[in-house]
Amino acid sequence: MKKKKDKKNNEIVFKTLYVEETKYKTIITKKFENRKVWQNPDSSLVYSIIPGTVSKVYVTDGDTINEGDKLLVLDAMKMKNTIRVPYSGVIKKVNVIEGQSIPKGFVMVELDIQLLNIDNKEVNS
């Protein structure tokens, strides 16, 4: 028969957790404390979200592109997925070639994004 731990001797420690300017008293697990801290993804990199094969590349290094332009076609899961550029800018580097198999999370294209400020003047990031 297994012995149960005496819970009276274990002190419960509450920690303060802040969520959008509200603080909560809670018990935080070791798994939560040891987790990898979330980082905002780099918006100048275009990652593959699924593994697949590049069937067509529409851009080359140095091309000027507008939001919504086609970057490449990724064949994955019996579908042709057209990858479009999320922002206007310039192609820094294309890291794939036609026929290349790529894993999930692979950096396919690096962008030099041109951001617009409030006065609609272009600013390089």
Residue 38 half-sphere exposure toward CB, CA atoms < 13 A: 2
CA dihedral 108, 109, 110, 116 (to 10 degrees): -130
Q: Is residue 90 part of a domain?
A: yes
Provide the domain limits for residue 73: 45-124
Domain assignment of residue 8, yes or no: no
Residues near 21 by beta carbon (within 8 Å), at least 6 away in sequence: none
* Range 45-74 average pLDDT: 95
Longest Cα–Cα distance of the chain, Å, equals 74
114 occurs within a structural domain? yes
The enclosing domain of 75 has a CATH number of 2.40.50.100
Domains identified in the chain, total number: 1
Rounded Cα–Cα distance for residues 75 and 68 (Å): 19
C-alpha distances out from residue 93 to 64, 77, 97, 99, 117, Å? 12, 26, 12, 18, 25
Q: Work out the mean pLDDT of the chain and round it to a whole number.
A: 84
The confidence score (pLDDT) of residue 3 equals 44
Q: Is residue 39 part of a domain?
A: no
Classify residue 19: in a domain, yes or no. no
75-92 average pLDDT score:
92
| Overall pTM > 0.85 | no
Q: Would strands 107-116 and 122-124 be described as parallel, antiparallel, or unpaired? A: antiparallel
* Assigned domain for 54 exists: yes
